[in-house]
Amino acid sequence: MRNLKVMTAYRGTKYHGFQRQANALTVQQVLEEKLSKVLNEPVTIIGCSRTDTGVHANQFCFNVRTNSNIRTLGFTRGVNGELPDDISILSCEDVPLDFHARFDCKGKEYIYKMHCSESKNPFASDLMLHYRRKFDVDAARKAASYFVGTHDFASFCADCTNVSTTVRTIYSFDIEYNGDSVIMLVKGNGFLYNMIRIMAGTLIDVSEKRLSPDDMPDILAARDRLRAGRTAMAHGLYLNRVFYDEAELLK
């Protein structure tokens, strides 16, 4: 028995998230079907995270146990030859049998992309949020600075019923602004359901002066979803990197 650690990337537009569902097409379903064909045995993969409908991944890790003796390069080439154009295997390596893509993950980095212009970008309609106003990046950066550190993020969670704690640590929250493009880059040790999308939506509300940057401490302290801002659309969100080395995470 072998355990393979696999990095993949996918465009989430056509999929109802990563995790397999009974009545909807998901990334996990497609991957398991193609892996089973290449490995010549039925397999179940373990993903590092769940992503919502329409969310993308620049780097997503899963592990899979197999009896196949296929070489890792042969695995990468073989599976990529079977996958649709919107899912790609980036790398594959043998790891110890006890490696678990979700439980061994030390942290993640997400990005949220916005196209800020009256005119839509026909090349990014499903890849960036189209925001028709000028984005107040200075106010958003000030507000985002309050997210950095260890806090209770219950106000930024759509459904906290399935977690033992809503305390998370954000190591960095950077906002890049270039022309019509705004990119929010967030790194942390873990994230709650819809947490990034709610933080992004809250920063949009800050930009529109519906909220003040200095409201953020009170919103965090309230532990009330109704106190935070809107939930930004899913198609602007990407899982950008996953970390299994804590030193790499803290760089």
Please give the positions annotated as active site. 52
Could you tell me the end-to-end alpha-carbon distance of the chain, in angstroms, rounded to an integer?
35
| Angle value at C-alpha 42, between 37 and 48, nearest 5 degrees | 95
User: 87-120 in b/e burial notation, b at 16+ Cβ within 10 A?
Assistant: bebeebeebeeebebeebbebbbbbbbbbbeeee
| Amino acid symbol at 175 | I
Burial grade of 132 (CB within 10 A; 0-12, 13-18, 19 or more): exposed
155 vs 150: CA distance, rounded Å: 14
Closest CA to 31 of 101, 96, 97: 101
